[in-house]
Structure formats: structure tokens, C-alpha cells
Structure 1
Amino acid sequence: MFAAWLLPRFMLQALRARQPDRIAVLEETPCKTVSQQENTLILSISHGAERTGVHPGMTVSQALARCPNLQVRYRDGQAEQAVQSLLLKAAESWTPDYESTRPGICVLDLSHTRWLSQEIHLHAWQDRGLQMRQDMQTQGYDLRVGFAENADLAILAAHVADPVRVLRAGVAEEKHVLHDLPLTILNPSPPVLEVLSLWGIRTLGQLVALPRADLASRLGAEGLRLRDMAQGGKERLLSLVRSQEQFREVVELESPIESLEPLMHLLERLLQRLSAQLAASWHVAGSLNLTLRFADRSSHERDLGVAEPTREVPVLMRLLRTYLEGLTAAAPIIGVSLELTPVRAASSQPTLFERGLSDPNRFAETLSALEVLLGRGRVGRAELLPSRRPDAYHVAGFLESFTASALASTSDADQFIGLPLQRFRPPRPALVTLHQQRPVELRLDGTVLSVRESRGPWLLSGNWWDLRQVWQHEIWEVEDMQGVLYRLIQENNRWFVEGLYG
């Protein structure tokens, strides 16, 4: 279900003009001469001016001939933008999915609202529409609300609303009320509107009566689009508005903070304000960025990930407290900055047999406490790096998702067939005797082993672009007189037994 909000006579409402007065709205830039003003086209008129026979599209001189006491005003672009922003802000309090269709009109997608499945009766929708209308009425604006099962039909319903109208798809009798609506509400391009006016087509009903094939051959795709909209429209995706609001609070302290509890009290107040802003925009916090400025002009910044995105203040406070309890500072705090990264709340429901953490945020607090105890980068899981160097890995957080390289390393394509290698960790130092650059004798843990056969060398190297991390291995496979296969590596002119096969 979709809801369309319409501010009728939008330009006049933006000017805060009284509808009973006889007022006409012209372009924003005032004309320099009287003759130029008389030839200017009227964009919008009030109810009082309409009753005298004045209509949009007339020139000022034509309108004054019919209504001598007509008041002429110029449209205010900044005021219109402010009212449109106010309209969208009110829509955001009902659903996160809404479209700014054109000035004075916005469409709300209500298909994901929780109360939709419960309110299927006509009176229930009427009550909801009156509540929506009241949001703008309290600020002095006249709002019309239309409900329908697609966005275009909801817009048409708003044009016939008084003040709320619900149009149900498949009910032909309800769509007949749309036939008397003017063609201009479909917002056709000026050339097409001029052609239709020459044909005498001025209402939606007259447009629908035209043969579809003939209309397409003469007006093309736009003609078909206008005819479809006049019949109630089709399913389409909304051009959703996504606000780029920044959720950040900065405080400069008059009195420095020297202990944890005053700082936590301040952070709690900041989180309460930020959480309210997140709730208003239908977001949750995916991470926190905390910056502390100290009296010695130094600063400390840290990003804290939220295991399960939330805007619950107690959960975020526990995360901050766990981190700050392990932080030491050499000077008092004179400034605090807290920023939340907004993300969409997860809407998927876990399956019956899915196993997961009962409280991911509590688990994250435990990991943070361990990191404070053991040091940063020492808590997590070992994840292989995309490198040929043996045992090349890094420590990834337990709550981080697996990278593409880590998933690729576990695929069936990388499983080699052959004798398994029993690795020695760490590799055992050895003395190797060479003859003609090939191993012939191996001394390992005081035991002398004669080499019956050897294969190699295989050279491995990497990170040649970084002198601090460059590495190079020479690998040999040797077999002693008892048939035991060993794997030898030479690194920096030193020999090691990396393991044995079988």
C-alpha cells in the first residue's frame, strides 16, 4: 500500500497566502517594466481568484480583465524548498521509504510498516490519513492524503481527497471519480500538453477515451505513459530519498575531566541525543567513533564496532565503558567528540535450526576486555593471507566477516592430492652437507642421516618491494636410507627441517 501526500496550490501555501483572497502567483524574478509584467503567465491562483474565471496559463493582463482587484505575487523558491523539506521530514516519521515526487507531492511506501497487516478496513485507512494530515496541519499547511496499491494511483487519489481518499485497485466505480481531473496533474511536457489541448483533451477521462495504438503513433512513449497514469498507473519503483545526515556530537569542556565517571555521564547524554536522531531516521548504529582531546594538546581517536547494530543507549554505554576502563591518559580531557555510523536495522529472521550468539554485543564487550588485557591486535582468529609464504597470516576479529581470500583458500580447488606433510612448528634447525650443490647428508637432533635421493630446489620468494618484509626460501625434498621423506628449507644460508611426509 502507498500513501501520497499533496499540498494543493503549493506555491500559495509556501507564500502563506490566504485562499479566500484573490491572488495569482508569477515567476520568482520580478519584471522590470509594466508591459513585461502584463504578458507574464500566471502559475497558480487562489480559490477566490478561480471563482472569478481566472486560471493558470493566463497572462496578467487577461486575468486583470476578469478580476480587476487581483493581487499579484511572485513565487518564493526558498520558501518552497523549505516547505518541501518540511513535508519530507514529516513523511520520514511514518516510513523510511518515501519519494519526493515533485514540489508539493511525496509518496510513502507503507508495505513494510508493522501496522499495515492489521488495518485492512477502509475506516482504518481513513483514520491513518487524518493522523498524517494533522502532522502538517499543526504547522499551518493544508495536506491531502490518498491511499492506493500503487504510487501513481495514490497520487491521483490525493487529488480527489477531501481530505483523505482510498482507491482500491480493481474497483472500476472508484476510478470514475478521476475522469474529471485536469490533465495538468500528470505533469506532461509542454509540447505534448499543447498537442492535447489542440485536440480538446483537457481531462483524464478524455485522455483514457483515446485509442491506445493511435495515441502511441502520434505522441510516442510519453503519450502511453500519460494514458497509463490516467488509468491508475502501474507498479514502479520509488526514487527513495536517503538523507545524508551526520550523527555527531562535539563538546568543548569548560572544566577538564580527570576521572572515568564524569566522562561516562557526559557520553551517556551525548548517546541519548544521537540515539533519538537515529530513531527519527529509522537507523541503528553500526560503529562508534570516539575522539578525546587532552589539555596537553594531544588527542586520542578510536573506532569501536558494534557487533549487532543497535541504538540502545545501555548497550552502547557498556561498549564505551569496557574500552575506556583500559585507557590511560597523561593529561585531563578538555574536549569530546562522539560520532555514530548509521546503518539499516537487520530485518531478517533467523531460521529455527540456526546457531548463533545469544547476545553478540555482550560477546563483543568480552572481546574488548580481553584486548585491553592482552593488547590491541592480539585477540581474534588466524586468517591466512593471499601469499605463498608458509604460515603467512594475520589476526582478524572474531566478529569480522570472512574475506574473499579466506573463503577462496577453503575451496575444493585448492585441496592438493598427495602425501600429507607433518609440519614441525617451529621448523627444526639442521646441518646439511652438500655435494655438487645437492644435499647428501643431514644432521638432525644429533642424528646423522644419509640422503639416498633428493629433489629440488624449488624457489619461493615474495614481498621483494618491501625490504623489511622481503623473504626467499629454497625447498628440497630428501629421502634417507630408511625411506623417510623430509622437507628441507634454506633461508638466509641456514637449513631447517620443515617436516616429514606420510
Structure 2
Amino acid sequence: MDRQIVCFAIPSLDIALARLTDSSLRTRPLVIAPLNNPRTLLREVSREAEQEGVRVGMPLTLARRLCPSLRVRPPDLPRAETADASLRTVIRRYAPTWEPVHPGAVMMDVTGTTRLFGAACDVAATVQQEIVTRYRLEGVAGVGSNKLVAQTAASLIEPSELCDVRQGSERLFMSPLSVHSLPGIHRPCMRTVLKRLDDLNLRSLGDIAESPLDALEIVLGNYAGQLSRWAQGIDPTPVLPPVSHPSMDETIVLEPDEVDDALLWGRLADSLQRLCRTLRHQRRMCNGLSLTLRYSDHREVTTTARVIPDTCWEIDISGSLQHLFQRAFRRRIRLRLMTLSLTGLNDFAEQGTLFDDRPPGEQTTRNRAQRLALALDRLHERFGEQAIRYGRRR
């Protein structure tokens, strides 16, 4: 059975949402960038701003010089997440398998659903119309026999348009396109590949598809085979549904923004104690740890660590958390938000060992910390969350 893949996306989601809220921005040059730092880089650029020479990744100060009438709006992550969730509620009704690409973009595998919803292009048109009717957001839709062709087709058209690449015409469709039109080709790891292709004057995908594979391997090494397949419109990768990882998290909103290391660590220690207390109450353990810091200029940094063995005790996690905090908090800019997540949750099953390799002093310290944690659990349950809090000695 031939595969039928649909890529549906809302181009520049934050810009579309900003214009949906403020109708005066619909015809104005608009960019999305943090407002607190003049050196920040642009994240999204509207068509009107592009006509003035403004590009994604450009410093905001340079963009203002190129386009004095430029309007700037900060990214709104909660609103984008809400819009993305709304989009997925529509997608689920038509696609048995779907894969999130990025906020506002979804890959759908509608193979075998022809009798239910019609051909893949009909499904794409139906999704487009429903999104416009319900949320007033215009999207693009690319249809193809694989993910690469569908995503490439969606990137070449305007909002509310649909591009259907029929089975067997993949190479013909990809051949005239520039190498730079490939999804993901602008990742840092591909810079050397792009430079070598430019040196060889291989500008189009047709040029690459017609080049002998052994000659490409001499120049591009391990990237040659994959790039040759892409140039011919070949992509066997499946549409992978989102994987649900059991986790527990807590977000700390800092009002006002804060830069004091000791105060921030105290807030994290309080959060860790609450999460571990919940784990013990639910008879669960975790094997992973994640910390996300959002600065006042809206830049986010996420660090992760593995927790071995699985545990629900603060003493086993606090050292890793402190290390993550030191890795993430490298910029001397105030923080606006911190999110602590305990991941890989599973049922409580702590098993003793016949040969404990911990030094006697360390084992004694761990036992005392566990008894203290249980005592604090009882105090918090009886007297409330603010009864006891972490502090520091002067």
C-alpha cells in the first residue's frame, strides 16, 4: 500500500497569533523577538519585514535600522502552546498516526484512511478549512508519499494553499529545487556540507541526484548517501507518534525577576522537596531530572541528568540538581521562570543489596537524611507548606 503523508503547518505561528489578537498588525512589518535585550536576534519575520531586508536571526538593532516602521512583539510561549494543542485536537480526528514537528506544524500519516476521509489531499484541505473556521489561522499543507516530500512541499507555498506531489513524481518535484530548500539542511552540522556543495557548484537537488554516489562520498563522506536519497525524494523514515514519558514537574515564577544564586537555589530546593514528597505519597520513583531556566530576555536553557538508581529521596537528587543549576545559570541576567521536572516515573520498588559499597559514614548520612525527609513530610502535612522552608546560614 502506497504511503500517504500530509504535512500541515501554520507559518510563523507567533506572528499569526499576534495579528489575530491585534488587527492593526496585519499589514505592518512585524517580527518576534525578546524586548528586554537590544542585542537579541529575531525569531520570526513577517513577509512585509522580509521585503525591507529583515531576516530571521538578524540582530534587532540592525532590523530597526533597515525598517524604521518595524513592529516588535515578544514571544508568547503559553499562547503558542495553547494554539498548538488546539491544532492537535483537529489532527487527531483525521490521522491515526501523527508526529509533531514543531509548534504549529504536524506530520500526519493517513495511509489506509481513504474510505473514511477520502484521498490525502482531501484530508489536507479539510484540516485547513476546519482550522480556519474554528481558530481563524491560515495554514499550508503538503501532501506526498513520504515525510521529506510532504514537508518540502509545505515549505514552498503560501498560507491557505495546498501542494500535492503525486506518487512516482518525487524526483521530478525535487529536481529543480535549491539545496537550501531541504528541511533541516541549515543545522550547524551541515554547514561544511553546504560549503562543499557550493564549491562544487552543486546548487540544485537535481545536480546532486545526477552525481555518482562514489564521487559524492569522496567529498561529503558519510553525508553523501543520505543527501543523494533526499535529492531523489526518497525518505523511508516513519511518522512517529509522540511518546508520553511519565513525569512530574513544578514551575517557579519569579516576581520580580531574580539573579541571586542563593535565593534561586533555595527556591529549587523547596520545589525538589515538594516533588519528592509527592513521589513518596504516590509510591513512585524517578530516574531522570530536568531543569529549564527562562531569562528575562525570554531565552531558555534546559539541562537534563540521569538519576541512578531510581529514587524518591532528596539526598539522591539534590547533588545532580545543583550541578544542573550551575550548568544552566551561566549568564548574569535575571531569571523569570524555573521549571523542575522529575522524569521516568515508575512504581516504588526499592531493593536492598547484600554488598553495599557505600562507606559506613555515607550510608549513615543517607539514612539520617531519609528519616529527616519523612519527618518533614509529616510536619508539612500537619502544619502546611510554609511551616518549614529551606534557608542559608550567615
What TM-score results when the alignment is normalised by the length of structure 2? 0.50
Q: Which residue of 2 aligns with 1:158?
A: 154
Is 1:7 the counterpart of 2:2? The answer is no
Q: Which residue of 2 aligns with 1:250?
A: none
For 2:63 and 2:240, the matched residues in 1 are separated by 38
Contact residue 98 and residue 241 of structure 2 kept, 8 A: yes
Deviation at 1:45, TM superposition (A): 0.5
SS in 1 for 2:73: strand
Deviation at 1:180, TM superposition (A): 4.5
Is 1:135 the counterpart of 2:130? The answer is yes
Q: Which residue of 2 aligns with 1:168?
A: 166
Q: Which residue of 2 aligns with 1:24?
A: 31
CA deviation map 1:424-470 (0-9, x unaligned): xxxxxxxxxxxxxxxxxxxxxxxxxxxxxxxxxxxxxxxxxxxxxxx
Q: Which residue of 2 aligns with 1:415?
A: none
Q: Which residue of 2 aligns with 1:146?
A: 142
Contact residue 149 and residue 233 of structure 2 kept, 8 A: yes
User: Would the alpha carbon gap of residues 219 and 174 (structure 1) be closer, same or farther in structure 2, given more than 3 Å must change?
Assistant: closer
User: Would the alpha carbon gap of residues 181 and 217 (structure 1) be closer, same or farther in structure 2, given more than 3 Å must change?
Assistant: closer
SS in 1 for 2:90: helix
For 2:108 and 2:183, the matched residues in 1 are separated by 18
For 1:65 and 1:173, the matched residues in 2 are separated by 42
The residue type equivalent to 1:47 in the other structure is R
Alignment of 1:197-346 (within 5 A): 200=198, 206=204, 209-210=207-208, 211=211, 212-213=213-214, 215-217=216-218, 219-222=220-223, 224-241=225-242
Identity %: 22
Contact residue 5 and residue 144 of structure 2 kept, 8 A: yes
Q: Which residue of 1 aligns with 2:73?
A: 73
The residue type equivalent to 1:8 in the other structure is P
SS in 1 for 2:62: helix
Aligned residues: 232
Q: Which residue of 2 aligns with 1:108?
A: 108
Contact residue 20 and residue 46 of structure 1 kept, 8 A: no
Contact residue 19 and residue 47 of structure 1 kept, 8 A: no
CA deviation map 1:259-291 (0-9, x unaligned): xxxxxxxxxxxxxxxxxxxxxxxxxxxxxxxxx
RMSD: 3.4
Q: Which one has the bigger helix percentage?
A: 2
User: Would the alpha carbon gap of residues 191 and 236 (structure 1) be closer, same or farther in structure 2, given more than 3 Å must change?
Assistant: closer
The residue type equivalent to 2:32 in the other structure is V
Alignment of 1:429-440 (within 5 A): none
Q: Which residue of 1 aligns with 2:95?
A: 95
User: Would the alpha carbon gap of residues 219 and 181 (structure 1) be closer, same or farther in structure 2, given more than 3 Å must change?
Assistant: closer
For 2:216 and 2:36, the matched residues in 1 are separated by 39
User: Would the alpha carbon gap of residues 150 and 191 (structure 1) be closer, same or farther in structure 2, given more than 3 Å must change?
Assistant: closer
Contact residue 183 and residue 204 of structure 1 kept, 8 A: no
For 1:219 and 1:146, the matched residues in 2 are separated by 29
Alignment of 1:176-215 (within 5 A): 176=174, 179-180=177-178, 182-183=180-181, 185-186=183-184, 188-193=186-191, 196=194, 200=198, 206=204, 209-210=207-208, 211=211, 212-213=213-214, 215=216
Q: Which residue of 2 aligns with 1:270?
A: none
Contact residue 186 and residue 226 of structure 1 kept, 8 A: no
Deviation at 1:234, TM superposition (A): 1.4
For 1:184 and 1:60, the matched residues in 2 are separated by 27
Q: Which residue of 2 aligns with 1:53?
A: 53
The residue type equivalent to 1:192 in the other structure is M
The residue type equivalent to 1:24 in the other structure is V
SS in 1 for 2:204: helix
The residue type equivalent to 1:105 in the other structure is A
CA deviation map 1:369-400 (0-9, x unaligned): xxxxxxxxxxxxxxxxxxxxxxxxxxxxxxxx
Deviation at 1:51, TM superposition (A): 1.3
Structure of larger gyration radius = 1
Unaligned runs of 5+ in 2: 247-394
SS in 2 for 1:115: helix
User: Would the alpha carbon gap of residues 145 and 172 (structure 1) be closer, same or farther in structure 2, given more than 3 Å must change?
Assistant: closer
CA deviation map 1:332-383 (0-9, x unaligned): xxxxxxxxxxxxxxxxxxxxxxxxxxxxxxxxxxxxxxxxxxxxxxxxxxxx
User: Which structure is higher in RCO with an 8 Å CA cutoff and minimum separation 6?
Assistant: 2
Deviation at 1:5, TM superposition (A): 0.6
Deviation at 1:55, TM superposition (A): 1.6
Moved more, 128-137 or 176-185: 176-185
User: Would the alpha carbon gap of residues 192 and 166 (structure 1) be closer, same or farther in structure 2, given more than 3 Å must change?
Assistant: same
The residue type equivalent to 1:206 in the other structure is S
Contact residue 30 and residue 46 of structure 2 kept, 8 A: yes
For 1:69 and 1:179, the matched residues in 2 are separated by 34
SS in 2 for 1:95: coil
SS in 1 for 2:115: coil
Contact residue 152 and residue 232 of structure 1 kept, 8 A: yes
Q: Which residue of 1 aligns with 2:343?
A: none
For 2:57 and 2:195, the matched residues in 1 are separated by 12
Q: Which residue of 2 aligns with 1:410?
A: none
Contact residue 84 and residue 104 of structure 1 kept, 8 A: yes
Unaligned runs of 5+ in 1: 246-502
Contact residue 95 and residue 108 of structure 2 kept, 8 A: yes
User: Would the alpha carbon gap of residues 141 and 182 (structure 1) be closer, same or farther in structure 2, given more than 3 Å must change?
Assistant: farther
Alignment of 1:459-478 (within 5 A): none
Deviation at 1:176, TM superposition (A): 4.8
For 1:234 and 1:132, the matched residues in 2 are separated by 24
For 1:199 and 1:83, the matched residues in 2 are separated by 39
